[in-house]
Amino acid sequence: MDLPSGDLAALSPEPDLAAAPDGFVVETAPGERIHFLDWGGSPTPSGNGVLLIHGLGGTAWGWTAVARRLRREVPTVAMDLRGHGLSDAPTTEYDPTTLAEDVVAVAEGSGLLGGRVADTAAGSGGAERVVLAGHGFGAIVAAWGADLLGDRCAGLVLVDGGWQDVAEETGLTPAEFLRDLAEPPEVLASMDAFLADRRAWDPSHWDADEEHAARATVVEVPAGHVVPAVRPHAYERSVEAIFQYLPIASLAELDVPIVALVAVDDEDRSKSAALADVQRARAAAGRPEIAVTRFPDDGHNLPRYRPDALAGAIRRLAAR
């Protein structure tokens, strides 16, 4: 079932440009804290909240344009994955189970599940279920989180990721995959050079929020150049987790509404072929068809390029 992107964009609230999130951490184990941004938002009649999960190398700030829209109508939280942003970066435990447990910990610790702090004081039970939306690697983590949440997951939004078997499709090892992600030295030569590179991806979508999100992904060292904010061991463990992901096994049994937002396809159409395989597996398991929206003119960073359509898709699930 294909949904036109324009129909989703029409469901998006206007962005709240004055909003600023509060930052919190939740302890998942002794000495391991996961950071999240709470954008606020009033409880919906459906009783659902929204948890946004960024991609590899990103942070919660990458969802800012989407969160500004969603917070007008639904409680909205964006988390930093372990090893990313302001979350702790333990040397081990980046496995699927632990990453899923982080998602549940943030959903509960933020008050998205079990009642927000402000609502609890007023005697409200708060949200009972949560919609998970993940971008790239975050879509994989969201699928694992949805499985662990079970009936407490109201829906899953896969933003250009989460339905492909990366190990099978690339034929690479995790180490080879990592090497392909390395930034050229000239991009990391200075903060100005890094920001200029990010701005050049699409100047029309560059603004103060995008600059903030970009700055959060690197650290400026005393010598003047920048380095990725994600420590090498966290990158390695995260990529190893990606290579463990089996989309058909993960998605075929999830008995929740799923939306897939597909950015510009590659030449061999592997994205579409992989998604079709998952659709067939879900049909064989008696699960609902994944609703698909395609963005043939936009790149992977859909939270930047199409925040209105993403907010519309997430709001549509949260209102169910």
In a domain, 203, yes or no: no
In a domain, 219, yes or no: no
Residue 140: give its domain's CATH number: 3.40.50.1820
CA gyration radius, the chain: 18
DSSP letter for 286, please.
Answer: T
Would you state the pLDDT for residue 127? 62
Query: Rounded distance, CA 226 to CA 218, Å?
Result: 6
Q: For the chain, how many structural domains are there in total?
A: 1
Nearest to 23 by CA among 33, 34, 32, 36: 36
Residue 33's domain comprises 5-171+245-318
Look at residue 1 and give its three-state secondary structure: coil
In a domain, 234, yes or no: no
In a domain, 206, yes or no: no
Nearest to 158 by CA among 176, 136, 175, 174: 136
Would you state the pLDDT for residue 266? 65
Strand order across the 291-295 sheet? 22-29, 32-40, 76-79, 48-53, 129-135, 153-159, 258-263, 291-295
Q: How distant, in Å, are the alpha carbons of 2, 4, 59, 101, 228 from that of 86? A: 37, 36, 8, 18, 13
In a domain, 141, yes or no: yes
CA angle 12, 247, 112 (to 5 degrees): 45
Q: Give per-10-residue mean pLDDT for the chain (320 aa).
A: 84 96 96 96 82 98 98 96 97 96 97 61 56 98 98 97 96 95 96 98 95 98 96 97 97 96 80 95 96 94 97 94
